Every structure is written in structure tokens, then in C-alpha cells.
Structure 1
Amino acid sequence: MEEFDFVIVGAGAAGCVLANRLSADPGTRVLLIEAGGWDTSPFVRVPKGFSRLMDDRRTAWHYPATVGAGRQETWQRGRLVGGSSAINGMIYARGGPADHDELERRGNPGWGWSTMLPIFKRLEDNPLGASPVRGAGGPLRLSTATGTDPLCEDMIASAGELGWRRVDDVNADDDERIGYVMATIHGGRRVSAAEAFLHPVRRRPNLTVVVDTVVLRILVHDGRAVGVRAEHRGRPVDYRATAEVLVAAGAIASPQLLQVSGIGPADTLRAAGVEVLLDRPRVGVGLREHRPMRLQHRLAEPGGYNPLLNNALGQGLAGLRYLLTRRGPLALPVHDVIAYVKSRPELDRPDAYLLMAPFSAAPPRPGRALELEQEPGVMCLGTVCRPDSEGSLAVTAADPRTPPAIVTEYFGTAHDRRAAVDTFRRMRELFATGPIAKRVVAETIPGPGVRTDEEIVEAALAYGYCGYHAVGTCAMGPTDEHVVDAQLRVRGVAGLRVVDASVLPTLVAGFINGPVSALAWRAADLILGETTT
């Protein structure tokens, strides 16, 4: 059995930060375990290469998920060093101060905005420079690309006619606003968590990274996590942790690992053939996920990215431009423009975000990511920021390589349905306003026949997809029913923490890649007994 101080399971956004921070002390032995391989694919570096990465089962896990009354969809997650930060759409959005203060309001001291803002500032290298609300010079290098296509300027101008304020930094406040997205891209290349936090410290002699290694279960002795049992390229291997085991495998794989290790709802474990070590009913329960609603229009005249990226010739020319200049549509994040809006005017802050791009998606194919239509079009995705509908995740076998049963309940509450319907109507209002209204000729998805509340919700289920922002399956909280405490320690097992999106009981109003990196930095502070200033 190989021995380390800390064993970290998962080399995604959280695991890379933990490996960086904990190995800074040369006397601390750190092991980072990744089930996938190294992030060597050239498509990892190319921002628009995310679609190929998400399609490829060598670089992405494809989890089957059940939506409501029997619909099936596929949830992709990163299966390589860097985790989902190596295959995502690269949009950087931290969530508003109230999102983080909500964690403290729920009984989790030390997770409010006054604690987390200094961490975000330390992480960031924002091209707009340092300010009271953003950082510069940090390891996570960011960028924003303006004026990417005339259609984007038309959408922003139309939003201005509705009173939405144009801003350069959409993360700087929490009012209605619109602007170009901030992205984890620098110099035309993706900045994954591995690029920002792991690769710069890989040569530390006290840091070991093993890939192609599936952790089968957590080893617990006398109520304490003492290591993990894994399989490395078909060979069984045990790793001992003298200090702590840190599970950072994400909101799907982390609760799955706890469950196959005997920590979870007793009935679920027994049904899957797992010996019950600790009956913890909330492991795998409380899953929350964003559900983007799709609105697409056909353009009156040629324009946008469709003719550039929907054929071999256009892709080849865009690829050549990228290789020569690191510019062009391949150097951009998944969408160009983001807006934060109130679904109803009486709200005190935005409760939805819209993503817009000068392209339109072709009908999705199972297991495949974004493909573009042949005819020119524009897309807008609208998402309820803080849904309160909850789903669940449960193992069906004792082997973690067997996908868990994921059930999600998008729009399962009156709050979520009302917010979704009102948001969708605001989306339509935008595309019926100003210069963008003059550029479009027809709504193609879901189509003008979709009018009633029920039809809008049904269209959101039929044409939308998961937001890749699952949280809540190992949620933190102040009582014994919560899986982890405010220190992220698993209740009932010493020496075991969960450090990833699964510990968040609610969603932030944005995208979880940045917040999870900050969460892991905060976790390292707790483990090391330090404070970020």
C-alpha cells in the first residue's frame, strides 16, 4: 500500500486546486487520482473544441439521466485531467453576493461573500484589471472578446432599448445587465483548472498524479477514512491517507463513490448489493440543475457563424485562421453574449440569465454535443438562476463503473415554472425589439404556436437540455441530516471530506466552474488552518 498524507479523488476544478494548495508544503505528501487520462488532446486547448471533447467517451463520461415522466437525456462530464473544466463552454460567472450569503443563511458559517470575494480576487487574472470586486495577476487567466459579430451588437443594442444596462464586467454587480461573456480563455487557448493550478506545480517531488485509475471505494477503519481502493489499468491498488481522504469527483461521481463505499441511504445501498457502513439518507438526494430553454430564429439574410462552422470547408478555414492567429470563432467560448434579467419587474435582483450567440443549433443527436444548422440563425438560451426543484442520484450496483440512476425534476415547483415562463416571454420580447428584430424573420424553436404557460414549460423540456451545473448531492448544512458540515467533513466518518459542487445546497446565479475553484481554495484554507486575504 502506497502512503500519502492526503489522497484526492478527482482531478477536476476542485482537485487541481487542492493538489496545488496542499502540496505547497514540501513536507506534505499529496496524491491526486484521476479516472481519465491526461489532458493531451489538442481539442482541449482550442476553445471551440469542446464539442468534440464532449462527444468523445475517452474524454467525457456519458451519464444517462431520466427527466421527469420518462424522458431520457445524456449528461456529459469531463473524463480527463482538468475534469469538466477541460471540456466545458468556458464561461466564467461567479454568482452574486446574495448567492454566497445564502450559504451562511442556511447555517454554514465562513461561506458568505465577505469570505469568498477575496478568494475570487486571488484566483483571477481579469483583463479589466484589479478593482474592489475583481482580481488581477492570479492563476486563473480570463478574457472577454467584444464585437465578435454584428449580430451580437444588435442583440446588445436591442436589450438597451428594454432598459438593460450594457457593462464590460458582468460579474461586477447584480442588477439587470448585458455584455460579452467573461471566459476562461487566454491568448485564444482554454485555461482549464489543470492549466491554471496543476501543471505549474506538477514537478513538485511531493505531488503524485496517477491517471487511468478508478477509485472503487473509500477504505474506512474504526470510523475513520484511511485510504482508497482503486484499479489502475486493470491492476488493483490501495493508497493510504494518513491525514485525510478528499473526495473531489463532482456532483455525480462523489455521491456515487460514497454510496458504493457504504455511506448513503440504507435501502438504496442494500438494493444495489452494497454493505451498509453508515445510513445517510441525504447522500445523492437534493440534486439541483439548471435547465436552459432554447429560442431560435431564422435570419433574413446570411450572417453569423453557421456558414463558417457547419461544413468541412468552413471549419478548415476557421481552423487555419486559428492556427495562424489564435483568433476567429474557434477562439471563442460557447456563447458570445450574456444578460442577467428579472423574470418579473418587482423582483429585487435578476433571477435568470440569457446566453446569446450568432448561430443556431441543429436538432440534437443522442450522445453528441452542439452541431449547427445549415441555414443562418441566432440562438438564445434562458435559464432560471436558482431553481428549487430537486432530483436524486442512486447507485444500482456495487461497482462505481456502473452508471448511477439519475432522476431530475426540472420545473417541478410552482416557483420554477413561473420563473421559466416569465423568463421565456422576456426572451421573446428581446427578439421583437430594436435592430435584432429587423434581422430575424421567423421563430423556429419552439415556434410561434407555443403560447400558454403549459406549452412553454413543455417546450423547455422538449428542446432544452441540462446545464452541466449539478449541485447538492452531498449538501453542507448545520444539522445531522446534512451530509457534510461547514468544514466539508462527512458526518460520521473521520478523515473524510467532500470538496466539489455536490456540497452546495443551492445553485449560484451563473456557472459553477469558477465557484468550485473558489470552494476548493476555501477548503484548503480550512484544512491548512489558514485565511485568504
Structure 2
Amino acid sequence: MYDYVIVGAGSAGCVLANRLSADPDVRVLLVEAGGSDRHPLFRVPKGFGKLMDDPGKAWHYQTRPFGPRARPEVWPRGKVLGGSSSINGLVYNRGDRHDWDSLVRLGIPGWGWDTMLPVFRGFEDNILGPSDSRGAGGPLGVSPPRRPDPLSVEMVETGRSVGLTPVRDVNDVDDAAETGGERIGHTMATIRDGRRVSAATAFLRPVRRRSNLTVRTRTTVTGLLFGGDKVVGVRARDAAGATAEFRAAREVVLALGSLGTPKLLQQSGIGPADVLRAAGVDVRLDRGLVGARMREHRCLPLKFRLRENLGTNRMLSSPARQGLTALKYLVRRDGPLATPAYDVIAFLKSRPGLDRPDAQVLTGPWSVATYQAGEAVTVEREPGLSAVAEILRPTAEGSVRITSADPDAPMDVDPHYLGSEHDRRIAVDVLARMREFFAHEPIAGRLSAETFPGTGVRTDEDVVDTMLDSGYCGYHAIGTCAMGPNDEDVVDSRLRVRGVDNLRVMDASVLPAMVSGNLNGPVMAMAWHAADLILDRA
């Protein structure tokens, strides 16, 4: 018997395990379907390309077909201690005051910026040092690239020429206040000394030896256990197929992410009645919004050929070059393998007159062959430069539904990308803004041609079709178990699942609105605060 059973050892689960087990009298079980994170590739920042492709290290969720070519795509999610923080692109940003305060305006008290900023500052160890909006000395290492590529330096300087404010830390929004938050800088990343800092590295590993904390890997939770209207534990199976039950005296906390958490709830009979009946699951609690209201970033790529043999393609475009680059990395913990997915990040407005940025653009001094999410990534031999844009706060809503009572059956994942006029308009405008950026010096002088999507893509329809057919998933799904003040909302402001006792959710699925940017940092901060809610300290 445990006091708390946490299901999922990702960004949220590792933080929860750390904080809930801090009291030696509280017994905590952390259950993870994946394995350990001891493989050396988990330490290499640029190792995420190979990790995402490995079904042993990542779940591969297939979506419904979409776009003009009606093709599905694969959404990788971490299947390992640390979850997606162990296989992601390491970009660290936090959202801003407007994002967090919007939750309070939606009727969800206790999640505003004045609450969340001290959490971020408390667990950050930012190599730039502490400030009013930045933390140092915490467990989570955060840093920009140690030796930025010269092309990255030129891209930051190009931002100045198009009206963006160059900043040391893109999370310090006050530095760009004079331009309404439009800013550019070297990417802040969960990297320290050339190594990945996952949630497992920062929060779980330092406390693994606590006698009151049990961590079970390669153990898949297949259902919730009920005692009347109360959740009393979970049912699980190990890698050999043996089943077991784990009991929770206080609470079960689901931290499986925006795909895994609604799946487990639906398999346990909590979800839309019609979906459950169609899947052959008995309806315990008819909750129409479990698995609904999903929002996800769609990425719009833009690529260029360079005039000279600059950038990092020459270091990564063949097995021999990769081997040499890897050897240098092992010796110095430096070079392109020690950097995040993209080296430069900008927050910008897709058109004049907006009160704050509505798009995020990431750029890097490299280029890959056109691919679909889930396919192997291949670096081009010719020198290139890449950029990718995301609509920060999309309004189109997709969904996640089970298709069978069998926990191993595929889910019905409907992204509904660009399903709103708001999203389509920003997609068109932001491509124009990106092209404007790369038409300015000093970076314009480095480019010989736009290789993707190509100058022939001009009309609104062409842009939207290109983003659907040749863009890719941002890996930032939210909303499938969203917080809210109403009876139909899945969880309340303290993350308690409505209609059943002793059950909470803490992962990105509880966000009712998108936080502007990447979600690893925000989810860890939310989990830190959630521990106080669970322990009745807030």
C-alpha cells in the first residue's frame, strides 16, 4: 500500500515524485511503462532524432489522415524515465504573464503569473545567473549554446534589422517590452555542460534512493481500481505480461500526457459515453470532454541553400562525418551534438497592430531532407539553413478517443490542424514574415535560394496546404483533460477529476489554453505547484 501512486514518469511525474516523497512518512510509487534512461544517447542533446524513431524509447501514436494528400503522421512521445523530456528538442521557454493570467480569467484561480514565476525561479539553474525573472541554483540546468555557430550570431543580428529586440534570455520578456515582446536570441535549453538535463536527471535521479519512493519501470497501467465513487489504486502489467494491483491510500495522480491520460481514463470507463460504448467499455462516468478540446502546434518549415560551405551539415551529413563529430563531442562535450533542436528562437507578430507575439520561429544552421513526423531524419549534404514557425496559441481543437477496450489497440487521434480561420490566417502571415526576415542582412547575403517550400508557394491556399502536407507536429498537445470552473470541465482548479474521489491529473492535458511556446518547462512548473495543491499547502 502506498499513499500516492503516480502514473507516468515524464516531465510532471518526475517532479511530483520528488516533491511528494520529500516527507519520509509519505509512501510514493512512480509507475513508468518505459525503461531506464541509462543509454548514453539520452545524454546527447542532438540524440533526439534517433531516440524519437526508436519504438523502444518512444510511443508512436498515429493520427487520422489529414491534409490534401490525406496522410496520417506519427506523434512520438517519450517511453522512458523522464518521458518526452528525455527525447525532446530541449527548447526551454515558459510562456508569459498574459498566458498564465489568462487561466485565472477563465475562472481557474491559483495559476496566475505571480504564482508561477516564483516556481520557475525556484527550480531553474540558469547559467546566466539570477534576475527578477530568472532563477539560479535550482535542480534544472538551463543555458544557451556555449559557442554559437557564426550563422546563428548573424541570425540574431538580422532580427535587429527587422525590428526584433536581441536579448540574452528570450524568457526575460521585459527586455523586449518596447517592441511589444517581439524578441530574438540564442535558444535557452535544458542543457548543462553539453549534456541533456531531463526531468529524470534534474528531479528524479537525486531522490531515487529515498526509502519511501518506489520506481517501477516497464510497468504499464491498464486501468484504475475503484471502491464505489473512489479510486483506490491501479491495475498494471509488467513487460512479461504479469498483472498486479497497486493501492493508493490517499490519491492516484495521472501524469501520462495529453494522449496517455485521456486514454487511461476512457479505458477505465471515464469519458464520453458514446465513445466508451463503441469501444466496448462499460460507462462508469459519462464525461464528454475527456479526450476533447485538444490543441497542438503545427510547424511550418522554411529552408535555404547557403552560398558557402558554412553551418553544420558538413559535420553531420554522412556516417563518417557523424562519427568524427561524435568523437569530438565525447572529448569536449561541444559542437553541433551539444546544441538543442534549433539554435536561435524568435517571438514575433504575424502582422502589425497585435498587442503581443502570436508566432514562434526557431532557426538553425543546418538543413534536413523533407520528411514526415515519425520518419528518419536525414541531414542534407549541401550546406543549408532551416527555420520553423509555430502558431503560438492555435484555436482549432482536435480529439483523442480509444477504439477498443484492449489497452494495446490504436487510438483515434484527430489533430484538426489549421481547422480555424484564426490559425490559417496566422499561417499565411507568418510565412510572409519569415521570408521578410531572411531577405535582410546580414543573413540574406549567405543565402543562394529558398529550397522549401519554394518561391512557387505564394497563395493562401498553397501556404495552408504546404503546412498540412509538409509541416510536422510540434509535440505540444494540451487540453484533453482541461481545467475549468464548470461542472463539465474534466478537472477543477486543484486538478481533481470531477465525479470521482482520490483522482487527479497533472500533465499538459489539464491546460485549457496554450501557453506560448514549448511545454516542457511549463509542465514541470505546474507539477511543482501541483504538489503543494495535493499536500494542501496552497
Structure 1, unaligned runs of 5 or more: none
The one-character-per-residue Cα deviations of 1:59-91 (angstroms, maximum 9, x if unpaired) are 001100125353310000000010000000001
| 1:278 corresponds to 2:285 | yes
Identity of aligned residues (%): 57
User: Distance in 2 between the 1:147 and 1:336 partners?
Assistant: 11
Residue 324 of structure 1 corresponds to 331
Residue 138 of structure 1 corresponds to 138
Partner of 1:77: helix, strand, or coil? strand
The one-character-per-residue Cα deviations of 1:298-339 (angstroms, maximum 9, x if unpaired) are 111211111110111211111111111111111111110000
User: Distance in 1 between the 2:440 and 2:203 partners?
Assistant: 44
**Which 4+ residue blocks in structure 1 deviate beyond 4 angstroms?**
none
Aligned length: 529
Is the 2:182–2:356 Cα contact (8 Å) retained in structure 1? yes
Partner of 1:424: helix, strand, or coil? helix
Residue 8 of structure 1 corresponds to 6
User: Distance in 1 between the 2:208 and 2:154 partners?
Assistant: 45
Instruction: Name the amino acid aligned to 1:199.
Output: R
Residue 359 of structure 1 corresponds to 366
Is the 2:373–2:473 Cα contact (8 Å) retained in structure 1? no
Is the 1:67–1:408 Cα contact (8 Å) retained in structure 2? no
> What does 1:458-477 align with in structure 2 at a 5 Å threshold?
458-477=465-484
The one-character-per-residue Cα deviations of 1:463-503 (angstroms, maximum 9, x if unpaired) are 21000000000000000110000000000010000000000
CA-CA distance at 1:147 after TM superposition:
4.8
Residue 91 of structure 2 corresponds to 91
Residue 454 of structure 1 corresponds to 461
Residue 349 of structure 2 corresponds to 342
> What does 1:140-219 align with in structure 2 at a 5 Å threshold?
140-145=140-145, 147-173=147-173, 175-219=181-225
User: Distance in 2 between the 1:343 and 1:510 partners?
Assistant: 15
Is the 2:372–2:472 Cα contact (8 Å) retained in structure 1? no
Structure 2, unaligned runs of 5 or more: none
Residue 234 of structure 2 corresponds to 228
Residue 377 of structure 1 corresponds to 384
Instruction: Name the amino acid aligned to 1:178.
Output: I
User: Distance in 1 between the 2:360 and 2:311 partners?
Assistant: 22
Partner of 1:197: helix, strand, or coil? helix
When the two structures are superposed, what TM-score results if normalisation uses the length of structure 1?
0.98
Instruction: Name the amino acid aligned to 1:112.
Output: G
Q: 1:369 to 1:124 in 2, by over 3 A?
A: farther
CA-CA distance at 1:367 after TM superposition:
2.8
Match of 1:245 among 237, 240, 252: 252
Partner of 2:474: helix, strand, or coil? coil
Residue 17 of structure 2 corresponds to 19
CA-CA distance at 1:7 after TM superposition:
0.4
| 1:263 corresponds to 2:261 | no
> What does 1:352-501 align with in structure 2 at a 5 Å threshold?
352-364=359-371, 367-501=374-508
Is the 2:497–2:503 Cα contact (8 Å) retained in structure 1? yes
Is the 2:161–2:440 Cα contact (8 Å) retained in structure 1? yes
Residue 509 of structure 1 corresponds to 516
Is the 2:75–2:373 Cα contact (8 Å) retained in structure 1? no
User: Distance in 2 between the 1:183 and 1:148 partners?
Assistant: 13
Is the 1:65–1:74 Cα contact (8 Å) retained in structure 2? yes
Q: 1:369 to 1:191 in 2, by over 3 A?
A: farther
CA-CA distance at 1:529 after TM superposition:
1.8
Partner of 1:434: helix, strand, or coil? coil
Of residues 511-520 and 361-370 in structure 1, the stretch that sits farther from structure 2 once superposed is 361-370
Of residues 141-150 and 84-93 in structure 1, the stretch that sits farther from structure 2 once superposed is 141-150
User: Distance in 2 between the 1:65 and 1:383 partners?
Assistant: 19
| 1:30 corresponds to 2:28 | yes
CA-CA distance at 1:146 after TM superposition:
5.3
CA-CA distance at 1:130 after TM superposition:
1.1
Instruction: Name the amino acid aligned to 1:221.
Output: G
Is the 1:67–1:410 Cα contact (8 Å) retained in structure 2? no
When the two structures are superposed, what TM-score results if normalisation uses the length of structure 2?
0.97
